Amino acid sequence: MPWTRAVGITIAGETRRETARFRKDEPWFPAAYAALEAIGAGMATEDSWKAIAPFT
């Protein structure tokens, strides 16, 4: 699946968070959502990018 930016589509951070919250009942959600927030705040680590994999 290509990233949206690769095809010229920009998605706002709040839209990404709203979409992610649809998965809030998944056991991996707390860590993945925290990583998504860190990325959005410009505080991503390599582990943050790995942690959001379930959202893709």
Task: Sketch the domain layout of the chain as residue ranges.
Answer: 11-55
Would you state the pLDDT for residue 33?
A: 93
CA torsion through residues 29, 51, 8, 11, sign: positive
Would you state the pLDDT for residue 15?
A: 75
Would you state the pLDDT for residue 55?
A: 86
pLDDT digits (tens, 9 = 90+) for 1-56: 456 667 776 666 677 888 889 899 999 999 999 999 999 899 999 999 999 999 88
Which residues contact residue 48 at a Cβ distance below 8 angstroms, ignoring those fewer than 6 apart?
35, 36, 38, 39
Which residues contact residue 47 at a Cβ distance below 8 angstroms, ignoring those fewer than 6 apart?
35
CA distance 7 to 3: 7
pTM: 0.74
Would you state the pLDDT for residue 51?
A: 95
Number of H helices, E strands in the chain: 3, 0
Would you state the pLDDT for residue 1?
A: 43
